[in-house]
Amino acid sequence: MDPEVSNLLYRHPELYEVVYDGARHAVARLAEAIFQAQLGRMPASLLDIGCGTGRDLEYLTRHIPDATGVDYQQPMIDFARRQRPGIDFRTGDMRTLRLERTFEAITSFGYTLANVHTNRDIDSVMATYAAHSAPGTLLLLELIDPLRTGKLPRDFHIDIPDLRADAIAEYTFHPAQQILQRERIWRRAKGPVRDSVKFRLLYPKELEYYLDNHGFEILTCHDLAEKHNAASAFVVARHRGRS
């Protein structure tokens, strides 16, 4: 969402799937367990906002055929459509997205919400979640836990026949804005490539406030020990319906 974002992996989704290998579908399997615990079954329909390359959504559509994936990055959607042609993938801005329908479950993995930085934009994303929810809709968000930023990955590797590259990430926290900035330099045979991204950190009571304002109540929170998710909090909320 930040026009200053320059990310090698967003521009080359095939590399994204190498660096973030999915840890044997750990996030999607956690979502399955949450759906079973909260609904007693898999949801009848699913909206994945920030779907990226669609790998998690592909796993979940084994049991949820009515599924739609949306991402802001056009290269990600183009790649997802080529690799997973049976799924409904769309390009969209999560602040303004309106599909004119509701879903039984909504997911946002991979720190999607952290890519919006202002209070106004966070509020707009919450309105998008609510616009696609009916009473009882489950919302599953993957967020950076502000108390576990030390567990964010710092070493990244690409090792495929056409490319070998390594990067060490440096994180800088800007307290006044609650922004965590990551700078990463990929060292490649053809020279270094720098990428940069900023994440908005949300604290628990702050998140609760935003969700409550749009009709959601928090049910549970989960974590994962896998390398790229060790700093993640998976927050589960349910929509109460519009008052």
CATH code of 103's domain: 3.40.50.150
106 strand-pairing partners: 47, 139
Residues 93 and 174 in one domain: no
In angstroms, rounded to a whole number, what is the distance separating the alpha carbons of residues 199 and 87?
A: 28
> Which residue segment(s) compose the domain that 190 sits in?
149-198
Q: Are 86 and 167 in contact (CB under 8 A)?
A: no
Q: Which two tokens stand for residue 8?
A: 């090698």
Three-class secondary structure of residue 74 per DSSP? helix
Per-residue pLDDT reduced to its tens digit, 205-219: 999 999 999 999 999
Residue 222: name the closest of 22, 20, 27 by CA: 27
Give the largest CA-CA distance in the chain. 59
Q: What confidence category does residue 226 fall into, taking pLDDT thresholds of 50, 70 and 90? A: confident
Residues 180 and 127 in one domain: no
Residues 90 and 194 in one domain: no
Residue 139 has pLDDT above 60, yes or no: yes
Residue 165 half-sphere exposure toward CB, CA atoms < 13 A: 21
Domain-located, residue 117:
yes
- What percent of the chain shows pLDDT beyond 70? 95
- Kindly report the pTM of this predicted structure: 0.93
What pLDDT score does 242 carry? 65
162-170 mean pLDDT = 87
In angstroms, rounded to a whole number, what is the distance separating the alpha carbons of residues 219 and 9?
A: 33
- Amino acid making up residue 203: Y
Domain-located, residue 215:
yes
Residues 178 and 207 in one domain: no
Q: What confidence category does residue 194 fall into, taking pLDDT thresholds of 50, 70 and 90? A: confident
175-185 mean pLDDT = 94
Q: What confidence category does residue 15 fall into, taking pLDDT thresholds of 50, 70 and 90? A: confident
Domain-located, residue 3:
no
Domain-located, residue 1:
no
Residues 27 and 71 in one domain: yes
Residues 167 and 233 in one domain: no
Q: What confidence category does residue 3 fall into, taking pLDDT thresholds of 50, 70 and 90? A: very low
